[in-house]
Amino acid sequence: MVPFPASTPSIVSPPAATPAVVDAVIGWLWTVALLLFPGLVAAGLCAPFLAAERLRALFRALPPTGRVLPSYLVASVGLSVPYIAGVVLTVARAAEAGPAWSSGFLLTALIGAVLVGLVAPAVAVIGLPRLGVDWDPTGYGYSTWLLLVGAGLWYALVAAVPLVALAVGMALPGGY
């Protein structure tokens, strides 16, 4: 093997910008993971509701049509958006951690519960059939409403528990 002359740069040394690029990529991956995590955890904790054929029929009718799991995961992550947005807005707008964050987290839990527990079922039962997505084999009766509102409120409870715990911690003397 012939050694390289001293003036030739090493082939294995990375370019100077590589650590910055790697740090940026890792930062974006963490951001994506933090945005997906609440929805995926809620999806796991709300999975027992998929035992109901009507709920599976709903997710089967949503894009990608005919596949329950991808639609369910997208819907679960989508339903976590109000909670994530509320936390981000609270942290960005509150002057300092403490009681301001506490009230922001509680307000986020309340608004998220209304959106997920009441608005989302109404969209599924009233909005989707008007858009041509006929998904309920039983005819959108009161039992469908009860199932969807129950699943929505369970999702809201699952999402509210960490927010309420953070709100209580922030309201305590010394806050965090």
DSSP line for 81-130: HHHHHHHHHHHHHSSSSSHHHHHHHHHHHHHHHHIIIIIHHHIIIIIHHH
91: in domain:
yes
137, burial (CB in 10 Å: exposed 0-12, middle 13-18, buried 19+): exposed
Tokens (6 digits) for 36: 């997906």
How high is the pLDDT of residue 175?
A: 61
17, pLDDT greater than 80:
no
Q: pLDDT band for 22, please (50, 70, 90 cuts).
A: confident
Tokens (6 digits) for 153: 């409120």
5, pLDDT greater than 70:
no
How high is the pLDDT of residue 69?
A: 94
SS3 172: coil
Place of tokens 């596949």: 67
Instruction: Domain of residue 82: give its range.
Output: 18-171
6: in domain:
no
41: in domain:
yes
Q: pLDDT band for 98, please (50, 70, 90 cuts).
A: confident
154: in domain:
yes
9: in domain:
no
Mean pLDDT computed over every residue of the chain: 88
Report how far apart the first and last C-alpha atoms of the chain are (Å, whole number): 61
> What is the domain count for the chain?
1
Residue pLDDT, tens place only, 48-79: 999 999 999 999 999 887 899 999 999 999 99
What is the spatial distance between Cα 19 and Cα 57, in angstroms, rounded to a whole number?
48
12: in domain:
no
150: in domain:
yes
pTM of the model: 0.82
CA R_g for the chain: 23
